[in-house]
A and B are shown apart, each in its own frame.
Chain A
Amino acid sequence: MTWDWSAVSDFMPHFWDGLLVTVQILVLGSLVSFGVGLVWALLMRVPSRWVTWPVGVITEFIRNTPLLVQLFFLFYVLPEWNITFSALTTGVVAIGLHYSTYTMQVYRAGIEGVPVGQWEAATALNLPLRRTWTAVILPQAIRRVAPALGNYVISMLKDTPLLMAITVLEMLGEARLFSQQNFQFTEPLTVIGVAFIVISYLASLALRALERRLAH
């Protein structure tokens, strides 16, 4: 096996395309998982079994089935009901939804960690329920759990190559395509491997900085 630098430079244009797609998946998927996870967490606090039971079943189901199965389902089964999205949109929705079932548990812990005295003070000041959530409880809860949410972003990064299975050309997809066309596997796979490490490392540095900032 020999290392061929010219293969690296040939691959680089494809690598940048793939990197851009990977970052898109990660950013949009994270936003979906943060938003939907928060909705799940709030729905689980509605004092009615008619809400919490179905939400519990749905999220348990999503959390305990493989992301790859969900990707295939959304990509190949939904079109049969005339619901079609681009591969990238489908992938972002699937990965975001999958991770939302984890972020909901993070939010739950954060919400339960806000001292009961905060709720009592909000009642004593007659704050409306919505305002209590938006101004008092959630800012404190999210501050507590921001580092834990960040850890899921790093996990999600490592799941982005699964989207290759539904034809999304993220980094691994680009590398595989290049390899198959040029019969050079070592260089492109090494390049994207290094890229994953670098992104993870930068993300964990950013997370640590965030943790320090939040710890006042």
Chain B
Amino acid sequence: MPTDTLPNPEKSPERSSGELIRLEQVTKRFGDNTVLDHLDFSVDAGKHVTLIGPSGSGKTTILRLLMTLLKPDEGTITVDGQKLFPATEKERREARKQIGMVFQQFNLFPNMSVLRNITEAPVTVLGLSKDEAVERAEGLLDMVGLADKCDARPAQLSGGQQQRVAIARALAMRPKVLLLDEVTSALDPELVAGVLDLLRDIARTTDITMLCVTHEMNFARDISDQVLMFDSGRVIEAGAPEKIFSEPEHDRTREFLSAVL
């Protein structure tokens, strides 16, 4: 794999210390339903953190808050010291540059070629020249194994291929944080492994911080530095994957794991 195309090719230990993401006293309600209740939560730079827990426990809500797709009702959220909430639209735009997201449903732009899906934001947001953006996109497509699909439309690709393009599209912005929201849930079973292998490679060879919500427990065990067990909007248990998966302390964690494993 050509490492020069990756966002942060060198593992730099000095950068992987220190807090990158911080949520303080974050509350999010949907109507009467309080999904997150005064949550405190932080992620250190370079870490790979997996959020697990039953549906409705608030895992995806955290990712969506970090991507500013939702607004918290209370609390503060910062990324790399920059404010996401509360913040002006300008501050939020600036802070958001640090974050990329890959969605369950891929959300590629169907009206654009694969290549243009990847070059669009680097050109219009980061101000790269078209040539620079194309070069970066081609490197990433090579990395995700789709170098020959530059001119294809998303609709001509399989789900697994679309998701790999979506990963390339997110990485093209060179974010410090990559949010992965159940990225294999919409895929046919035989396509899951390819996407997970790609993410494993990215986790191993870059120092990008990953925050992932997944039901793939083996994947979570492989890539995570830390696993957080959510229940009813609170972290009820946190620790290294070996510990959480082998000797969970909390009853709810045990119940959840026995249901999904």
Contact = CB atoms under 8 A, between A and B. Distances in A.
Contacts of A127: 120-121, 124-125
Contacts of B112: 135
Contacts of A139: 111
Interface residues of A, number: 18
Contacts of A120: 67, 69, 101, 103, 107
A102 B121 CA distance: 34
A126 B173 contact: yes
Nearest to B118: A125
Contacts of A165: none
Q: How large is the interface on B (under 10, 10 to 19, 20 to 34, 35 or more residues)?
A: 20 to 34
A118 B109 contact: yes
Interface string A107-138: 00000000101101101111110010001100
Given A126-B125, A140-B110, A140-B111, A121 B103 contact: yes
Contacts, number: 60
A158 interface: no
A117 B101 CA distance: 12
Nearest to B64: A120
Contact of B93 (A126, A135, A143, A216): A126
A143 B111 contact: yes
Interface of B: 67-69, 93, 96-97, 99-101, 103, 105, 107-112, 120-121, 124-125, 153, 155, 169-170, 173
Interface of A: 115, 117-118, 120-121, 123-128, 131, 135-136, 139-140, 143, 216
22 contacts: A115-B105, A115-B107, A117-B107, A118-B107, A118-B109, A120-B69, A121-B108, A121-B109, A124-B67, A124-B100, A124-B101, A125-B173, A126-B97, A127-B124, A128-B125, A131-B124, A135-B109, A135-B120, A136-B109, A139-B111, A140-B111, A143-B111
